[in-house]
Amino acid sequence: MYFFFQSGQLLLQLLALLLMLPAAGLMVRLFILQHDCGHGALFSNKKINDWAGRALGIITLTPYEYWREMHAAHHACSGNLDKRGIGDIDTLTVQEYHQKSTWGKIAYRLYRHPVVMFGLGPAYLFILRHRIPVGRFNAGLKPWASVLFTNLGIVVFSALMIMLVGWKMYLLIQIPVVAMGASIGVWMFYIQHQFEDTHWDYNSDWAREHAALHGSSYYDLPGPLMWLTGNIGIHHVHHLSSRIPFHKLPKVVEDHPELKEIGRLTFFQSLKTVRLTLWDEHRKQMISFKEFNSLPAQSLR
């Protein structure tokens, strides 16, 4: 009897492990729903969008109002070299990197390392950084209220789950699911703007529509992955008009087939973008550290 009990326990643990990856994918889909609420795109009523977004933020560990403001800033200046650093991935130009000190270059290389970018960084962002309004400390009460009420909701939700399954089982499932979901989410955000032929310009030459269309990718994933990621890979259309709900993005591409070839990346093509780390203003494309090292000296002056 003890043998069968132990076998049953082992099977349940294996099943839980197998279900963690799809659970992380579903967490990403819930984040996309929250994301659309932030754009006022999921429901026609603003209050419903806001309350749905706040509730989803408890599950995704993302304070709704705080994140919405940061993300709005990203949409307002995506691809603008003069307005980097709000709600986006830090990206240096070749000249900026060249002018960094040795320690500055090491810090940037560590930041752009895949283990940090897609592993440690996402876990830190969703589990720890979202617990305080980083970057919005002086923006009044609203960001603090958003973060604190979300934290309270997370505590209550976690307490209920622990009462149902125990703290060991809860942490065994919750931490890996959140970590994997965060990594998938950051990967999706990365690939949407960090591909080779993306677009960056200084403010004097920057145009929102052009930057939206040519600075955002069309991540052409297989159907099941498109569903899990809420079609957010159709990112050039999303940046052109953020009020289009996620479920209507494929219809836009279907109705306008010329959009299919702008910034298109398949899954296997996207894996090659991990090496891209610097914006080369002369070539007008992202390059790797290896390519930087082979640049002629005159191009760095």
Question: Nearest to residue 208, comparing CAs of 76, 86, 89?
Answer: 76
Q: Give the chain's domain count.
A: 1
pLDDT mean over 2-11: 53
- Which residue is listed with tokens 């958003």? 146
Quick one: pLDDT band at residue 297, thresholds 50, 70, 90?
low
**pLDDT at residue 142 greater than cutoff 80:** yes
Q: What is the pTM of this model?
A: 0.90
What 3-state DSSP class applies to 25? helix
Give pLDDT tens digits for 17-55: 778 888 999 999 999 999 999 999 999 999 999 999 999
What 3-state DSSP class applies to 173? helix
Residue 56: which residues within 8 A CB-CB, separation 6 or more? Answer: 30, 31, 33, 34, 37, 64
Question: Nearest to residue 35, comparing CAs of 251, 270, 244?
Answer: 244
Give pLDDT tens digits for 46-83: 999 999 999 999 999 999 999 999 899 899 999 999 98
- Share the mean pLDDT of the chain: 90
Q: Which residues form the domain of 51?
A: 2-300
Tell me what pLDDT residue 299 has. Answer: 64
Quick one: pLDDT band at residue 10, thresholds 50, 70, 90?
low
Separation of CA 155 from chain center: 24
* Residues found in the chain: 301
Residue 221: which residues within 8 A CB-CB, separation 6 or more? Answer: 229, 233, 267
**pLDDT at residue 138 greater than cutoff 50:** yes
User: Rounded CA gap, 32 and 242, in Å?
Assistant: 12
Give pLDDT tens digits for 210-268: 999 999 999 999 999 999 999 999 999 999 999 999 999 999 999 999 999 899 999 99
pLDDT mean over 166-177: 89
